[in-house]
């Protein structure tokens, strides 16, 4: 009996111990499970929070992108507006520039015209007029300025001579140039006033009668009154003789006088006066050269064509 009771007791105890062990094990297991769940929950919360924050960040980033896009669009519009304005300003500038250039051109043209008018106002238009028995100089005409010719250029025995102040340098240049070529040109007569011409005509008329008309212009008809006309001879001829045409001096003048602006007023077979190989008139270098080049005489050209040379007669 006692033995049976002992076995039962031992069995029960063993069962109890085993059950307790299992219980303890299960309890521990349960505890661990709970811990794990708690950890996982914490983990989940953390991720949820993290997710929420990321979402916020994304939303905020999206907002920023939208704002920046708007700003970029605004700047693009502003840039294009400024570009248009710049283009407008360029147009305006070009227009202004063109206006200024046009204005400068006008000023230049006006000052050119003024210069020409000023030059012409200081030039006797009579200096290029063609004189004949039907068109003659006014008796009151006096050159704007006359200068005394150095006596070394005057034929010995002749009185003081005067020449147009703006043309005298061309006369002296011509005589000096001839001298270099061994030609000794001498002046017999240059500027003659209306009164002097009248006196001279009177003297000729007393000697030659009406025949004087063919070789001495009536007072007022003479080119000598212009101040730009000169009678030239050489020492050997020493006067206004037709024989002057046979001298080297005359040949030299025919070949070179145009270079200094001088022409022979009354060539052979002219319709106005007898042939006067000694009588040379200054008409400016440009006109004299052009006549020479075209092989025409001063009388042959139209007066309007000749007048175009007046502005540069002393150039």
To the nearest whole angstrom, how small is the minimum distance from the Cβ of residue 276 to Zn ion? Answer: 6
Structure tokens at 174: 């011509």
Name the one range near Zn ion by CB under 5 A: 45-53, 168-176, 207-215, 279-287.
279-287
Q: Which residues in 175-234 contact Zn ion (CB under 5 A)?
A: 231
- 279 lies in the site for Zn ion, by CB under 5 A: yes
In the complex, the smallest distance separating the C-beta of residue 295 from Zn ion, rounded to whole angstroms, is: 23
Q: Which is nearer to Zn ion, 147 or 265 (CB)?
A: 265
- The answer to whether 258 contacts Zn ion (rule: CB under 5 A) is no
Q: How far is the CB of 239 from Zn ion (least distance, A)?
A: 12
Q: Give 123 or 222: the residue with its C-beta nearer to Zn ion.
A: 222
Q: Report, in Å, the least distance between residue 164 CB and Zn ion.
A: 14
Closer to Zn ion by CB, 166 or 231: give it: 231
Minimum gap (Å) between residue 229 Cβ and Zn ion: 6
Whether 260 contacts 174, CB under 8 Å? yes
Task: Give whichever of 123 and 216 is closer to Zn ion, judged by the CB atom.
Answer: 216
DSSP the chain: -HHHHHHHHHHHHHHHHHHHHHHHHHHHHHHHHHHHHHHHHHHHHHHHHHHHHHHHHHHHHHHHHHHHHHHHHHHHHHHHHHHHHHHHHHHHHHHHHHHHHHHHHHHHHHHHHHHHHHHHHTS-GGGG----SSS---TT---S-EEEPPGGGBPTT----EEETTTHHHHHHHHHHHHHTT--EEEEE----HHHHHHHHHHHHHHHGGGGGGTSPPTTT-GGGGS-EEEEEETTT-SS-GGGGGSHHHHHHHHHGGGGTEEESS-TT-SSSS--TTEEEE--HHHHHHHHHHT--GGGS-HHHHHTTGGGTT-
- CB nearer Zn ion, residue 213 or residue 290: 213
Q: Considering the rule CB under 5 A, would residue 166 count as an interface residue with Zn ion? A: no
Name the minimum Å distance from CB 114 to Zn ion: 37
The CB-of-182 to Zn ion minimum distance in angstroms stands at 25
Q: Are 139 and 169 in contact (CB under 8 A)?
A: no
Q: Which stretch binds Zn ion (CB under 5 A): 13-21, 171-179, 273-281, 285-293?
A: 273-281
Instruction: With CA atoms as reference, report the closest residue to 150 among 187, 105, 197.
Output: 187
Q: Which residue is nearest to Zn ion (CB)?
A: 279
Name which of 279 and 285 has its Cβ closer to Zn ion: 279
Question: Which region among 89-97, 124-132, 167-175, 275-283 touches Zn ion (by CB under 5 A)?
Answer: 275-283
d(CA 291, CA 298): 7
Nearer to Zn ion (CB atom), residue 147 or residue 197:
197
- Binding region for Zn ion (CB under 5 A) out of 74-82, 176-184, 244-252, 278-286: 278-286
Q: Which is nearer to Zn ion, 240 or 290 (CB)?
A: 240
- Whether 125 and 306 have beta carbons less than 8 Å apart is answered as no
CB of 221 to Zn ion, least distance (A): 11
- At residue 247, the 3 state secondary structure works out as coil
Q: Which stretch binds Zn ion (CB under 5 A): 167-175, 205-213, 255-263, 271-279?
A: 271-279
**Which residues contact Zn ion (rule: CB under 5 A)?**
231, 279
């Amino acid at each position: 009996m006692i033995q049976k009771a002992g076995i039962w007791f031992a069995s029960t105890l063993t069962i109890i111990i085993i059950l307790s062990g299992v219980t303890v094990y299960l309890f521990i297991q349960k505890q661990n499970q709970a811990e794990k769940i708690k950890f996982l929950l914490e983990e989940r919360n953390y991720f949820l929070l993290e997710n929420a924050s990321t979402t916020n960040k994304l939303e905020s980033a999206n907002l920023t992108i939208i704002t920046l896009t708007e700003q970029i669009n605004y700047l693009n519009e502003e840039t294009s507006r400024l570009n248009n304005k710049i283009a407008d300003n360029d147009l305006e500038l070009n227009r202004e520039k063109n206006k200024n250039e046009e204005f400068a051109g006008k000023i230049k043209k006006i000052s050119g015209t003024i210069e020409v008018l000023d030059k012409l106002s200081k030039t006797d238009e009579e200096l290029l007029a063609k004189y004949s028995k039907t068109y003659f100089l006014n008796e009151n005409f006096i050159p704007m300025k006359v200068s005394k010719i150095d006596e070394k250029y005057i034929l010995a025995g002749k009185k003081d001579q005067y020449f147009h102040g703006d043309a005298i340098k061309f006369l002296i240049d011509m005589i000096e140039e001839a001298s270099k070529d061994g030609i000794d040109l001498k002046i017999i007569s240059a500027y003659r006033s209306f009164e002097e011409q009248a006196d001279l005509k009177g003297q000729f008329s007393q000697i030659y009668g009406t025949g004087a008309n063919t070789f001495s212009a009536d007072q007022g008809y003479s080119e000598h009154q212009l101040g730009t006309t000169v009678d030239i001879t050489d020492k050997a001829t020493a006067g206004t003789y037709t024989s002057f045409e046979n001298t080297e001096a005359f040949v030299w003048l025919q070949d070179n006088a145009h270079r200094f602006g001088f022409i022979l007023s009354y060539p052979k077979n002219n319709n106005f006066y007898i042939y006067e190989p000694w009588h040379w008139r200054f008409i400016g270098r440009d006109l004299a050269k052009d006549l020479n080049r075209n092989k025409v005489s001063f009388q042959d050209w139209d007066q309007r064509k000749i007048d175009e040379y007046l502005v540069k007669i002393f150039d």
